[in-house]
Amino acid sequence: MLKTSSGAAMTNCPLIIIADRSETGDSGCLADKCMMWRWSEPAPLPEWIPCDESGALTPSEDPPSPMFTFVPYDGSEGPAGWREDDDSAAARRQGYCGLAGEPRGGE
Ligand code: SF4
């Protein structure tokens, strides 16, 4: 089953349950901090949302979410807009625990 790192942390790791049960009681998957973790895809590109005013130099509207930064129109490239922060885009990347092999369709 594909999961984001934060989603995987909400599941139990069978190895941690066996090895660490008596110590902390925390058996959550370590996701990309574990050597068994495998990414299923490259990191997604940040989302881009153009502004209503394509030539805006300052934002005239609120960001679509706190994870977006305003990019003003600079005359050389595309219109002004909102760019998703790299950390936010990276948090959408999905992977899986390699212990059980690569997931197939529907898993
Ligand atoms: S990736 Fe697999 S082995 Fe690693 S912590 Fe998560 S469930 Fe456990």
Report DSSP letters for the chain, one per residue. Answer: --EEHHHHTTSB-HHHHHHHTTTT---B--GGGSTTEEESSPPPPPPEEE-SSTT-SS-SS--SSTTEEEE---SSSS--EEEE-HHHHHTT-EEEEGGG-PPPTT-
Q: Which atom of ligand 1 is nearest to the CA of 99?
A: 2
What is residue 89's predicted lDDT score, i.e. its pLDDT?
Answer: 96
Q: Does ligand 1 come within 6 angstroms of the Cβ of 13?
A: yes
Q: Are residues 4 and 31 in the same domain?
A: yes
Q: Are residues 66 and 102 in the same domain?
A: no
* pLDDT, tens digit, 9 for 90 and up, residues 17-40: 777 655 667 788 999 999 999 999
What is residue 57's predicted lDDT score, i.e. its pLDDT?
Answer: 76
More confident residue, 65 or 88: 88
What is residue 24's predicted lDDT score, i.e. its pLDDT?
Answer: 65
Q: Does ligand 1 come within 6 angstroms of the Cβ of 96?
A: no
Structural domain of residue 58, as residue ranges? 45-91
Q: For the chain, what is the domain count? A: 2
Q: Are residues 51 and 73 in the same domain?
A: yes
